[in-house]
Chains A and B, each alone.
Chain A
């Protein structure tokens, strides 16, 4: 709640702080970023990250489930290797590579964010499912649950906190990464940062950076709260 308040205050309050920012960049005629409203940038930023998060959650969780089933076992080494390798790939490189394919703008940014956000989700879903006590699985099977029932009633609930913490990492990283989308023409909170860097306007950079940071903190604390609730609900310690 605290971070959300800060975020909203900053979004709507920056326009009234012209004098403060004038001291940061005294040589600039204009010190408040005004090509777009901060609210529009914020909403578009959230929109990009959300779309990417939804896609990477679906793809990540489903593929991790697939490779932990008996019929998908052969792909387990492949998927876990790709998942850890992908994290070493800089997002800017994904952007650069996807521009020729998808053009400038929103689409390549979403692609890059999706790929980059996939990895913590896959890794944590794998760890969560593989971490379920084998005795619990044995008794679930021995009592006559079908494999779908074992998955829904036992494996997923028991790994839910670990999966959620992967989602949390993924989204938080992507809130920061999405700013890079501004370099290829997506409209995000990275716009003031990029434009500030190009024009030597430190005030713009600070405005963008503060908003990105506050958005990341707000989202992270919200997801943390969700995770705590899940832990209490399942009394998993």
Chain B
């Protein structure tokens, strides 16, 4: 066993009367990893996730958390140590936001003032002002707000591990996008070990630093987003990656700032060129070029010209060796 593995699955299987939902899965997730399990419906990704907090018990193999077999824990205290967020939020409709968030701390027996402080801290972390949200009921929240509360509630007990089962699956694309950004921002602050399930490869590429592709209960490939895009293990993986769209997906992971030509000052003729920001993706840069029918863009950061990027540079851009961020 690797010494710094937070979660370790050794030949884990789950059988349901004759059918095999998860088949001999080996997985090692390091502390601080953002691990995304991705695959089509029924591939065993949710089952795998739910075996980690023993909502489903595994039939064979070993699941270790910080080196300890999970069957040696009491299931309730195990679950209180692991944050859990699901697609339909599962917020308690009869409790207000504050009480929902305080659920796990209360189960853990924290003193009242500490729970209160934690609720305030989390609402702030998720950009939900305490005064306007703490005493709302889930039925008064929009889908995106409810899911933020769901995430806050999962983080409330300050768990080392966060399990998320398609948490953004039911949201509209714009809300989903902003919650993904927010989750990345939060993860940079809190460095939890996150296991995230989705069927959306774009979401996986965006969030993960460790992608696990599953099919029919088995792990087909696990890699960083870049490795996955560069070397999909088989046709199933490349199909999930969008086949010929792969190039665009890859460009979506690379930032203009890393490939532009710097040290450039504005010349009068530049005003005819379209502009882009340094932290935009190459994919967006390509789209802007197509739209304006230009082979060159000015890179602007807060009204300062910081460089330029050309079609040639995008085409020749070499993917990063490792994950950005």
Contacts and interface: CB of A to CB of B under 8 A. Distances in A.
Given A143-B84, A144-B81, 13 more contacts: A135-B87, A138-B90, A139-B84, A139-B89, A140-B92, A142-B55, A143-B79, A144-B75, A144-B76, A144-B104, A158-B93, A235-B94, A236-B94
Contacts of A139: 84, 86, 89-91, 150
B224 interface: no
B259 interface: no
A161 to B, nearest CB: 10
B216 interface: no
Contacts of A158: 92-94
Contacts of B76: 144-146
B139 A237 contact: yes
Contacts of A146: 76
A157 interface: yes
Contacts of A142: 53, 55, 79, 84, 86, 90, 163
16 contacts: A133-B88, A136-B90, A139-B86, A139-B150, A140-B92, A141-B79, A142-B55, A142-B86, A143-B80, A143-B107, A144-B75, A144-B104, A157-B94, A158-B93, A235-B93, A235-B139
Interface string B32-66: 00000000000000000000010100000000000
B137 interface: yes
Contacts of A157: 94
Nearest to A160: B94
Given A135-B86, A138-B90, A234-B94, A143 B55 contact: no
A144 B80 contact: yes
B103 interface: yes
A145 B89 CA distance: 16
A146 B78 CA distance: 12
A153 B87 CA distance: 22
Query: In this complex, which of A141, A143, A145 has the most chain B Cβ atoms within 10 angstroms of its Cβ?
Result: A143
Nearest to A136: B90
B231 interface: no
B294 interface: no
Given A139-B84, A149-B107, A235-B139, A144 B90 contact: no
A143 B87 contact: no
A76 interface: no
B68 interface: no
B77 interface: yes
A142 B78 CA distance: 10
A237 B139 CA distance: 9
Interface of A: 133, 135-146, 149, 153-154, 157-158, 234-237
Nearest to A142: B84
A79 to B, nearest CB: 26
A136 B91 CA distance: 6
B57 to A, nearest CB: 13
Interface of B: 53, 55, 75-81, 84, 86-94, 103-104, 107, 137, 139, 150, 153, 163
A40 to B, nearest CB: 43
A237 to B, nearest CB: 6
A235 to B, nearest CB: 5
A202 B211 CA distance: 84
B281 to A, nearest CB: 34
A143 B94 CA distance: 17
A145 B55 contact: no
A144 B79 contact: yes
A146 B94 CA distance: 19
Nearest to A153: B92
Contacts of B90: 133, 135-140, 142
Contact of A135 (B55, B78, B80, B89): B89
A144 B137 contact: no
Contact of A154 (B77, B79, B92): B92
A237 B94 CA distance: 10
A157 B76 CA distance: 21
B325 to A, nearest CB: 28
Contacts of A143: 79-80, 84, 103-104, 107, 153
Contact of B86 (A138, A145, A235, A237): A138
A179 B117 CA distance: 59
Nearest to B96: A235
A175 to B, nearest CB: 30
B137 A135 contact: no
Nearest to B83: A143
A198 B87 CA distance: 67
A133 B138 CA distance: 13
A85 B107 CA distance: 42
A234 B96 CA distance: 9
A236 B87 contact: no
B151 to A, nearest CB: 12
A141 B78 CA distance: 11
A138 B103 CA distance: 14
A212 B104 CA distance: 50
A114 to B, nearest CB: 30
Contacts of A141: 55, 79
Contacts of A144: 75-81, 104, 107
